[in-house]
Amino acid sequence: MQNNFMKIATTRDEALALDAQDPLAHARAQFKLPDNVTYLVGHSLGPPHSAALEKLNHCATDSWAKGLVGSWNSAGWFDLAAKLGGKLSGLIGAHPDEVMVTDTVSVNLFKLAASALPLTQGKRQICVDAEEFPTDQYIAEAFADLTGVACRRVKPGEDFDALSDGGIYIKSAVNYRSGERVDMKAYEAKAREADALLLWDLSHATGVINLDMKAAGAKLATGCTYKYLNGGPGAPSFLYAEKNLLPKLHTPLPGWMGHAAPFEFNGQYVPREDAARFASGTPPILSLSALEGALEAFDDIDMKALDAKAGALGDLCIARAEEIGLKVISPREASKRGGHVSLKVKNGYPVTRALHAQGFQSDFRSPDTIRFGFSPLYLRYVDVWDLMEALKEILDTKSWDAPEFHARSKVT
């Protein structure tokens, strides 16, 4: 989309001036962020929204501790996953019945691929980018092994060739490493020509760019809720299936919670009509309660403004990075980028640790990529300005070379 914030700050005062006129500035106060932390890891684990903590606390101490098993009815637990799917549908331009919150992205990729396979006109291949997030590659490979279809690792630039051969194609709307955003509509048009089915991974896109499944013609998707949606660690993912396709989609894991009438305890499986047919087992209610609160952050948010601000924060980062002489591996143009910017930095790991020591939390992707996630709900232009000043100082003084910054943590 077109970036409306045309001006890129060239001084700290200009960054502050952009913050003063930011239409999304009010959202920051709703998040519980520690003092002296600039949180640039919203593309990995979003911070807690105050309503998420309140709902979680209420669910545990009231609905669970006092309401006990009766809360499946009285607190609306039974319908919560489908209800949140409905709420989330508004963020991705889908119909409420087409979205369900359940399982993980890894599991949902498998369920969607298996349900799509019979609809691919006998084209027995599953494609995945050779540079796709690893879980997508592992699932594609395992799916191929199990079903006997071919697994095709697509090299950069060969996407449309692969699509024109039909079958299933797992594709991220925003690449986890480079931040590159793809033109979903163009991919869907190509897929239609060859009766291929695209299975979108929206993990790095949802809650940060203006997604529209209907406008794109997208049919199948899944994505994380613990990143830009701030659902909390291990929050379940969501799954989208277009409503005309839904009746033809049969989950390979038909658990009782996807049954049309689970409490009739019928031995014959009859799926629900909506996307909740993809539910398998009992939903994680505590996690869902946190997600319910977290989604309140988006109640009054214009997704176009959100998308534009993510682009503008990224533009500022890129402009400063280029001044410092760093290699930017994300697209220069905001309309071709998601919410994060990745820089190739020699000694990237200790540099990330040195930034962290100054309060700038970012992440590192081996072997040399530092990622900065620009969640527009709580980040300010001045945060990006200060981040890049700190990065310059760390590189100029080589303060990253202190022994404590070299020790690797398990999670980077």
Strands (E), 159-292: 168-172, 197-201, 220-223, 238-241
Q: Which residues are catalytic?
A: 133, 201, 226-227, 371
Q: Which of 219, 225, 201 is nearest to 283 (CA)?
A: 225
Between 3 and 230, CB nearer to ligand PLP:
230
CB of 108 to ligand PLP, least distance (A): 8
**Widest CA span of the chain, in angstroms?**
69
CB of 343 to ligand PLP, least distance (A): 18
Say which residues have a Cβ less than 8 Å from residue 383's Cβ, sequence separation at least 6: 38, 40
In three-state secondary structure terms, 370 is strand
The span from the CA of 180 to the CA of 314, in Å, is: 12
What are phi and psi for residue 220, nearest 5 degrees? -140, 135
DSSP single-letter state for residue 149: P
Between 15 and 173, CB nearer to ligand PLP:
173
Between 275 and 354, CB nearer to ligand PLP:
275
Between 179 and 271, CB nearer to ligand PLP:
179
The span from the CA of 180 to the CA of 364, in Å, is: 17
Between 132 and 274, CB nearer to ligand PLP:
132
- Residues of this chain that bind ligand PLP (CB under 6 A): 104-106, 133, 135-136, 172, 176, 201, 203-204, 224, 237
Computed over its alpha carbons, how large is the radius of gyration of the chain? 22
The span from the CA of 387 to the CA of 198, in Å, is: 37
Length of the chain: 412
Between 116 and 390, CB nearer to ligand PLP:
116
CB of 172 to ligand PLP, least distance (A): 5
Integer angstrom CA distances of residue 387 from 7, 30, 95, 289, 359 = 19, 22, 39, 33, 9
Which pair of tokens denotes residue 221? 């998707």
